[in-house]
Structure 1
Amino acid sequence: MKLAILSRNSKLYSTRRLVEAAREQGHTVRVLDPLRCYMRITSEGFGMHYKGMTIGEYDAVIPRVGASITRYGSAVLRQFELMGSYTPNPSDAVLIARDKLRCHQVLAAEGIGLPVTVFGDNPDDTQDLLAMLGPPPHVIKLNEGTQGAGVMLTEKPSASRSVIEALRGLYANFLVQEFVAEAKGADLRCFVVGDRVVAAMRRQAPSGDFRSNLHRGGSAKGIKPSAMEQEVAIRAAQVVGLGIAGVDLIRSERGPLVLEVNASPGLEGIEAASRVDVAGSIIQHIASRFPPRRTRRTARVALRH
């Protein structure tokens, strides 16, 4: 299999592990900076260059596109799709996952459990918007924030209104959600590959914080999710359209609730906590779509028989 990984930095842990796993399994792999890919689009066909050279055909492409370059990165990924490359995470699915509001709408439409969420634009409606949600505490999230950045907890109605007014003054897009107290500052990251959860970890927020992200000082421990939690995580990834996803859940009194579906989940934390070769599972899943290449050695063996 000839594989491309779209990543701005080949030295990042996740990118490096995918390269190592692909080579260990005998595949050809190259890391491409999506911002150095540029495209030719015509009704006769699609082409792409990279640093002055034509990009050849790739069997598969793994997108590791950061949130700051979502628009351009997804356009590059779509160009690969139009040129015939397979990707476990199609460009349209990446765009859905990156837009928290759209992702929540898509998941809710399929009956997947979520924290109660409200969204509005006009300042005159703030009071009624919060009434639709219910009493505080409230969790306010930037629509395209990552790794816990842009997530705030407000404990009084006046605080919620003040934060909402400030964000509107910055022309920011945001959601407001219920705070699920029984989760006790913990969530589950289920790493979905294809139709199974290959690894999972329980993340706990540090003292004095409610965000469990490892980038915010949270701790992690490998766990085995319940059958229901695995089912919800797999279904959430499939509804969004992702073959590889990090699905974040919280345990509530009404069952597992999906917080987020991540289209470019990091590997470092989950591999360390679970001690599972997640990168290897990703490569195996992608390679299973392609028949083994016929080498000279396998051809000679076939002729003898």
Structure 2
Amino acid sequence: MKLAILSRNGSLYSTRRLVEAARVRGHTVRVLDPLRCYLRIAPGGFAMRYKGKPVAGYDAVIPRIGTSVTRYATAVLRQFELMGVYSPNPSDAILRARDKLRAHQLLAAQGIGLPTTVFGDNPDDTDDLLSLLGPPPHVIKLNEGTQGAGVMLTEKPAASRAAVEALRGLYANFLVQEFVAEAGGADLRCFVVGDRVVAAMRRQAPDGEFRSNLHRGGQASPAQADAQEQAVAVGSARALGLGVAGVDLVQSSRGPLVLEVNSTPGLEGIELACRVDVAGAVIEYVAGNISC
């Protein structure tokens, strides 16, 4: 298999591990910076060049696309798709996952549990909007934030209203969600590859923090997702069209709830916590779909 990995930085842990896993399995692999790819678009003539040379002959491409380059990088990925190259995470699936509002709508339509979420635009509707959610605490999230950035917890109605009004004043897109107190500041990251969870880790927020992201000081430990959690994680990835995903769940009184579905999940935290070759599982999944 001739494989391309779309990544801005080939030295990042996740990119390096995918390269290593591909090469140890006998595949040819190259890291391509998506911002250095440029495209020719014409009827019957999709083409791409990279640093002055044609990009051709690839069997598969694995996207490692950061949020800051989503628009351009997904256009590059779409060009690969139009050139007949397979990707475990298609461009439209990545765009669905990056838009939290759209993702929540699609998950809810499939009956997948998630924290109750409200969304509105007009300041005149703020009080009624928050009443649809119920009393605080409330979690307010930027629609395209990552790694816990752009997420805040408000504990009083006045604080929720003030945060909503401030974000509207900045023309930010955001959601307001119920706070799942019984989760105790912990969540479960399930790494989905195809139709199975290949690894799972429990993340615990530090004292005084409600976000469990490792980038926010959360502590990771290996975990075993139960049958229900696995079904919810795999179903969530499938609902968005992702073959590889990190699905974050919290336990509630009504079962596991999906916080987020990440289309570019990091490998470092989960591989080090679980001692599982997640990169190898991704490469084998991609190779298996090529050979089908």
Aligned partners of 2:197 and 2:258: how far apart in 1? Answer: 15
Alignment-derived partner of residue 89 in structure 1: 89
Q: Take 1:107 and 1:58, find their aligned partners in 2: how far apart are those partners?
A: 33
- C-alpha distance in structure 2 between counterparts of 1:291 and 1:229, whole Å: 30
The answer on 1:16 being equivalent to 2:16 is yes
1:114-263 → structure 2 map (5 Å cutoff): 114-263=114-263
Counterpart contact for 2:60–2:290, Cα < 8 Å? no
Partner of 1:296: none
**Gapped runs of 5+ residues in structure 2?**
none
TM-score, normalised with respect to structure 2: 0.99
Answer yes or no: is the 8 Å Cα contact 2:86–2:290 preserved in 1.
no
Supply the AA of the counterpart residue of 1:174: F
Q: 3-state SS of the aligned residue for 2:290?
A: coil
In the other structure, the counterpart of 1:7 is 7
CA distance in 2 between partners of 1:74 and 1:113 (Å): 28
For residue 291 of structure 1, report the CA deviation from its aligned partner.
Answer: 3.7
CA distance in 1, matches of 2:22, 2:94: 22
For residues 251 and 72 of structure 1, the distance between their equivalents in structure 2, rounded to whole angstroms, comes to 36
User: Which is higher, the Rg of structure 1 or of structure 2?
Assistant: 1
Aligned to 1:284: 284
Q: Which residue number in structure 2 is paired with residue 102 of structure 1? A: 102
Structure 1 residue 56 displacement after superposition: 1.1
Matched length: 292
Q: CA deviation at 1:44?
A: 2.2
- Which position in structure 2 is the counterpart of 1:27? 27
Q: Aligned partners of 1:45, 1:201: CA distance in 2, in Å?
A: 45
Superposed CA deviations along residues 227-277 of structure 1, whole A, max 9, x for unmatched, are 000000000000100000000000000000000000000000000111100
Gaps of 5+ in 1: 293-305
Runs of 4+ aligned structure 1 residues displaced above 3 Å come to: none
1:295 is matched with which residue? none
2:79 aligned residue? 79
Alpha-carbon RMSD across the aligned residues, in angstroms, is 0.8
Q: Distance in 2 between matches of 1:226 and 1:78?
A: 35
Identity of aligned residues (%): 76
Q: Distance in 2 between matches of 1:193 and 1:265?
A: 11
